[in-house]
Amino acid sequence: MTDVRVDLDEMITVDDIAERLGVSVATVRMWRNRTHTEFPEPFKRFGVTMVWRWGDVLRWAGQHGRIRTSTARANYQAAFGSSPAPPAKYPGSQDGTRPDFSKPVDADGAS
């Protein structure tokens, strides 16, 4: 097993967060704008650009089941000594997976 080194003070942007966690930039922005997710506040603002400490975002993502990549999972384990929470389930889904919105659904919820 290789030693994983994680720079928790590394400054990252919304684009970096999306890439590292395996989600879209729109998803990161949504997390930021929803007060119930407790997404970390930016560490610093440079005009309209905001930056976060990777460690703050990684800790939040691991605690809330928002890690989608094996690299981020390994970073979390190396930094915090435990496994992150399992991926969050899609709200309203019976099995936790994203519904197929391409299929019509009748009033009873059947496809």
The pLDDT score that the predictor gives to residue 68 is: 85
Beta bridge partner(s), residue 52: 12
| Per-residue pLDDT tens digits of the chain, which is 111 residues long | 455 565 768 899 999 999 999 999 999 999 998 866 789 999 999 899 999 999 999 999 999 889 888 888 998 998 888 889 887 765 555 555 555 556 665 555 555
Secondary structure element (H or E) that encloses residue 49, with its range: strand 49-53
State the virtual CA torsion across 69, 12, 18, 80 in degrees, nearest 10. 30
Quick check: 87 and 62 in contact, CB under 8 A?
no
The pLDDT score that the predictor gives to residue 98 is: 54
The pLDDT score that the predictor gives to residue 1 is: 47
Centroid of chain to Cα 15? 12
